[in-house]
Structure 1
């Protein structure tokens, strides 16, 4: 204990040691110093800490502590304010852990540390500003951070050392719908405090209004390749730090982040806005598959961005002009009977160039148009179903691919349900396909929206089943109607058939229909039949059909013959 005390005191962090059964608390000299008291002042009791909590923080902090002590959460970490002797409040990052229990298993002792995150020398002004900044604040970085970045770019890089600007984009899917603006701000303040207290003196932290963060890392190395490796290591460390659970009231959040890296050499003098732009381009690239959430800026990104911006403008125009095309990919049963169809979107530019769906969907997500795209598809499909019903055609269930970004928007499900009701769509006539990322957001957020969809008669299909590691929890916890196997299962038929069989059996245990995708050969079909699939989708049965051909498949016209 003496060694631990010496180590923590040497780091200038305050420590506390709480005897839960008696309420006695040991408060270190540094702990008292943080709030303006001498070593021989303040009583060593729980109320000394509790009564100094800011009124707006008190209930949240005490609830988080109680949840940890009672075993409902795995760790205790809180960012809150303590009243200083002079009357103002000091922001602290408080971490604690249980270390002793009685014979009945009840916790008896807890130790922890306090880090002052409001008066940290390296981030004093930036932290003060981000604490005061609201979600609706400026769209620029705090002035203090920009000033430091500008100073580093013009004069602070004269040592010949490479630096780096890292843009950290925190994934906030579900957060906006789960938390109000004040709660979201407090959660992001916890993220900021954790970052500011974690990293060393040569790193400065700032924050964007969206909840994204930037770090300026100085003096990484003289050699560019060494600096790049250290910047990448720092980016990986950032993602790990943010991934540690956050607790806010009764909510538990496990966040993820993508990091864009712009290396800064000692020769080129760049404008701070240009450096920020390059880091943003790298962050966009970090979201792509195979990047592991981290990416470096390189010159080709500028050329790519110019094309992307042009395509985004054209995509917006295509949606407004209703010039995109719907296609229908049939799903057959083992008797080659049509049971449903997946609705796909195709886009051809004015010059005839075909833009692959994966590309324009990514552009829509990056440009904030993905919900508009998904609503456009939903509206067109509802119109098609309504018209077909009026003309006496009976269509199979049509399923829409819904982006996780659309599903994560607060009002998306309500607007979709209103659209279905407006067109008088019958129950089970329309379904949506979601990947597991959408269903693994905050449980309360997902449960509320899934319940509304089910009540409205909109079936939910889990798409890309087998591509991730957590889909089994989706099977157990969500009222799905079917799963669609990921396309990787086609390759696994030859290399690891037992994996495919295990996936199918696991879904069938929950009485779910299993659809095999990408079935292009009789061999594929036979293997999936033997494994017990219920539906089959792929070129062996049919390519994606335009609306006229799909109608012909659903209601074939009688052949004319001469008499």
Structure 2
């Protein structure tokens, strides 16, 4: 009832009561005449006053009540607004202004700013923004839901995306309800919006996590189970069932489906593990168990489980876990155990290296063979076993084959930890990854040292004479074949000596085979002691021997034969008796007497029979011409020995002229031989024989002593500035005491060292650089000058010039002779002069025979000259006379004229 109705009703009741009661009261009382009218008037006035007061009181009371209601309403509304603002949900209301009008926003809570970024006033003024910022993909859904709600006067709940003021979409949950205004009949739509963006993101994250988990489970091939402990039921995944060979609908949900399939031998351990899992909080338990499959076979599985839910008393309610098929793992473990057993117990050494060729694993046989325990070998390169017997080229070829073929096999020599060298048969294989890169190297080897020793012993027996232990005919033929191949490649000579002992049959018949055998053993020993290490001494049978001498020409072979004749003809002490035998030796030389094995052996055999037919105790060549040449060489050698003894050698001196001053600054001492019958023998006829026979060293010593004495004699006679140059052979220079010999010669002659110049060839330096440096340093310390003879004809001169203390270089006469006919010769001579000067060396040219030679050399600043243009080599007295003659003056003029 409204306030106006209540007031009107009260007024009606009170007014009616007043009139009825007051009228009754007036009529009951006796009023004086005329008073009744006045009383009625008073009563009416009083009624008006009383009703006015009553109306004032009633209206005032109603106003107070309305005021209290409005205040309470405001307080309630404020409280509700605070609640709405504090809430994450935004409250809204839409209404129709007319029957055909669209819904318009009539209320929205202040917390809309958090949801949209816009203030309420902005949204009231820009109501179209709701549809503008609605996601395009969600607009049809929202419009359809609102339309249906209006038509059916119903509600809806939607989730859609709305564009926040910051440019990012928010997920909105819209719960709305439509109603019809009872007074106007128009539709009103009220509801709330809630930001569910985080919930959507969490949901998406959860879905991704679940998908990952599902993918991981499926990928890991795990079976899942979920056990309800109080009910005794369990969920088994499809994979769990298929693991045992069952279809998805073949196994129920009783936990006994699992427990009854446990292998009897595993059951006690399984029960203990389950009990431990149920009583131990927050721990994952795992155990291996065999489960019976559908076909009756047992399969190894790994079961893992954990209690995930307990009641208030701590009793387990729910247990979840996984089951893994261990069949392949168990098979691989068995295979690995088998392989490990094979690996460790193999009698052959096995090494596994990584891609960087570092040892990763070795077996016991490796340790037994090499002496290296695994802990010392692992991490090391296999090269710790290298013996040094194979050179770098061997290993380079081995790795080439490994890289190209993925495999190498062969024999190799290695070194044990104790230093002992052993032979092994090695096989290396490469393990490649799918991309072709190297993962491992596998090496298997066996110690074949004893086998090789046995094979070598057998080979030695097969290839050697049992009596003398010399190579037999078979081994000789093999070595001769190899020597011939080398000689053909290097264009060198070699000699074969076939030898038969004279009178051996007589000794063997008279003294018996025992004495004969003892004699042959002694002959074999003398033969081995008389030849070089690279030579082969072979017994052909009976009293016949064959010698193979590589890199030996006819002259050297004759020397060896002479040596053998002498040593084999010495008396033998056999069975208490002194015996004398001599050999007959036949010589065949490659390539003159043959170029094949059989040809050379036959030639030496024929030559031996010629020596025997000539009386024995001699050697013969296969060809007469060679025999004559060798005989001549031997005669020269014998005569040369006599010449040294009888002082038949002499020195000639060739002057050396300075291009700067035109004066004679020195001379070169050149040895000559005055033979009593043949006259003056040219150096080319006896120097090679001296070098082959070893006489060059004593001849060099004689030249050194004689030249220093002659130089000192000339100084006493007034030739005080001459420098004496002598040639030193390679043999003489290699002598350990050569520098001391020079010092002794200088001291004996009383000659200062600066007046002696030692000429050496480039081959002296290249042959043994360290020894050459040592000797040159000793000579330099004495004060002796050094020069390089025949410069430009060697291959190492430029590199060694930096290391040797050289004073002068001599341009070889071959370049001087061709100065004006061969362009390269002039270029080489010019380069030698320029290089010598840049190194601070003096340069002399030999073989200067024409004025054009001298002019060219002077123009290119050569320091000195020597040659027939000035003078030929001459004896000492003639040399002195030449220096004071007009001829010497003319030579000086030619040397200084450009």
TM over 0.5: yes
Check the 8 A contact 1:516/1:536 in 2, yes or no: yes
Q: 1:465 aligns with which of 769, 779, 791?
A: 791
Does residue 425 of the first structure (1) align with residue 751 of the second (2)? yes
Q: 1:265 aligns with which of 591, 598, 601?
A: 598
* 1:133-167 residue CA offsets vs partner (Å, 9 max, x unmatched): xxxxxxxxx965542369759xx99xxx9995978
Aligned partners of 1:426 and 1:162: how far apart in 2? Answer: 54
Aligned partners of 1:297 and 1:25: how far apart in 2? Answer: 65
TM-score, normalised on structure 1? 0.56
Check the 8 A contact 2:788/2:806 in 1, yes or no: yes
Q: How many Å apart are 1:498 and its aligned residue?
A: 2.0
Does residue 366 of the first structure (1) align with residue 696 of the second (2)? no
Aligned partners of 1:32 and 1:209: how far apart in 2? Answer: 44
Does residue 328 of the first structure (1) align with residue 653 of the second (2)? yes
* 1:148-199 residue CA offsets vs partner (Å, 9 max, x unmatched): 369759xx99xxx99959789x9xxxxxxxxxxxxxxxxxxxxxxxxxxxxx
Check the 8 A contact 2:761/2:788 in 1, yes or no: yes
* 1:454-477 residue CA offsets vs partner (Å, 9 max, x unmatched): 111111110101112221123222
Q: How many Å apart are 1:350 and its aligned residue?
A: 2.0
SS at match of 1:410: coil
Return closer, same or farther for 1:15/1:471 CA change in 2, 3 Å cut-off.
farther
Aligned partners of 1:364 and 1:21: how far apart in 2? Answer: 59
Aligned partners of 2:647 and 2:362: how far apart in 1? Answer: 67
Does residue 534 of the first structure (1) align with residue 867 of the second (2)? no
Match of 1:547 in 2: 876
Check the 8 A contact 1:433/1:461 in 2, yes or no: yes
Aligned partners of 1:353 and 1:26: how far apart in 2? Answer: 82
User: 1:232-381 maps to which residues of 2 (within 5 A)?
Assistant: 263=595, 264-265=597-598, 269=602, 300-334=625-659, 335-381=661-707
Check the 8 A contact 1:91/1:118 in 2, yes or no: no
Aligned partners of 1:115 and 1:440: how far apart in 2? Answer: 42
CA RMSD in angstroms comes to: 5.4
Return closer, same or farther for 1:332/1:392 CA change in 2, 3 Å cut-off.
closer
Check the 8 A contact 2:655/2:668 in 1, yes or no: yes
Match of 1:388 in 2: 714
User: 1:112-191 maps to which residues of 2 (within 5 A)?
Assistant: 125=460, 144=469, 146-148=471-473, 152=477, 164=484
Aligned partners of 2:792 and 2:377: how far apart in 1? Answer: 55
Q: How many residues align?
A: 389
Return closer, same or farther for 1:324/1:20 CA change in 2, 3 Å cut-off.
farther
Q: Determine which structure has the larger helix proportion and give its number.
A: 2
Aligned partners of 1:429 and 1:403: how far apart in 2? Answer: 20
Does residue 501 of the first structure (1) align with residue 830 of the second (2)? yes
* 1:456-507 residue CA offsets vs partner (Å, 9 max, x unmatched): 1111110101112221123222111111111111243121122221122112
Match of 1:444 in 2: 770
Bigger relative contact order (CA 8 A; separation at least 6) = 1
Q: How many Å apart are 1:345 and its aligned residue?
A: 0.8
Check the 8 A contact 2:813/2:848 in 1, yes or no: no
Q: 2:840 aligns with which of 494, 508, 511?
A: 511
Aligned partners of 2:353 and 2:833: how far apart in 1? Answer: 51
Check the 8 A contact 1:332/1:339 in 2, yes or no: yes
Q: How many Å apart are 1:511 and its aligned residue?
A: 1.4
Aligned partners of 1:484 and 1:307: how far apart in 2? Answer: 34
* 1:376-414 residue CA offsets vs partner (Å, 9 max, x unmatched): 101111222333344454250011001112212222232
Return closer, same or farther for 1:330/1:82 CA change in 2, 3 Å cut-off.
same
Aligned partners of 1:528 and 1:450: how far apart in 2? Answer: 29
Match of 1:8 in 2: none
Return closer, same or farther for 1:42/1:515 CA change in 2, 3 Å cut-off.
same
TM-score, normalised on structure 2? 0.37
SS at match of 2:764: helix
Which shifted more, 144-153 or 416-425? Answer: 144-153
Q: How many Å apart are 1:300 and its aligned residue?
A: 3.6
Check the 8 A contact 2:849/2:868 in 1, yes or no: yes
Aligned partners of 2:782 and 2:872: how far apart in 1? Answer: 30
Q: How many Å apart are 1:355 and its aligned residue?
A: 2.9
Match of 1:210 in 2: 532
Return closer, same or farther for 1:49/1:163 CA change in 2, 3 Å cut-off.
closer
Return closer, same or farther for 1:162/1:378 CA change in 2, 3 Å cut-off.
closer
* 1:22-57 residue CA offsets vs partner (Å, 9 max, x unmatched): 8639999xx989x9789x99985669986897xxxx
Aligned partners of 2:600 and 2:767: how far apart in 1? Answer: 45
Aligned partners of 2:350 and 2:734: how far apart in 1? Answer: 40
* 1:404-432 residue CA offsets vs partner (Å, 9 max, x unmatched): 12212222232222222332220311111
Match of 1:408 in 2: 734
* 1:217-268 residue CA offsets vs partner (Å, 9 max, x unmatched): xxxxxxxxxxxxxxx9xxxxxxxxxxxxxxxxxxxxxxxxxx9666432696
Return closer, same or farther for 1:124/1:411 CA change in 2, 3 Å cut-off.
farther
Return closer, same or farther for 1:32/1:472 CA change in 2, 3 Å cut-off.
same
Return closer, same or farther for 1:207/1:522 CA change in 2, 3 Å cut-off.
same
Return closer, same or farther for 1:22/1:83 CA change in 2, 3 Å cut-off.
closer
SS at match of 1:309: helix
Check the 8 A contact 2:414/2:423 in 1, yes or no: yes
Q: 1:490 aligns with which of 813, 816, 825?
A: 816
Return closer, same or farther for 1:549/1:306 CA change in 2, 3 Å cut-off.
same
Aligned partners of 1:118 and 1:535: how far apart in 2? Answer: 66
Aligned partners of 2:693 and 2:714: how far apart in 1? Answer: 34
Aligned partners of 1:123 and 1:460: how far apart in 2? Answer: 57
Aligned partners of 2:712 and 2:458: how far apart in 1? Answer: 59
SS at match of 2:767: coil
SS at match of 1:525: helix
Aligned partners of 1:407 and 1:337: how far apart in 2? Answer: 31
* 1:279-329 residue CA offsets vs partner (Å, 9 max, x unmatched): xxxxxxxxxxxxxxxxx9976433221111110111111111111110001
Aligned partners of 1:162 and 1:500: how far apart in 2? Answer: 43
Structure 1 alignment gaps of length 5 or more: 1-13, 54-60, 69-78, 95-108, 130-141, 171-205, 217-231, 233-258, 276-295, 558-563
SS at match of 1:477: coil
Task: Please identify the structure whose Cα radius of gyration is greater.
Answer: 2
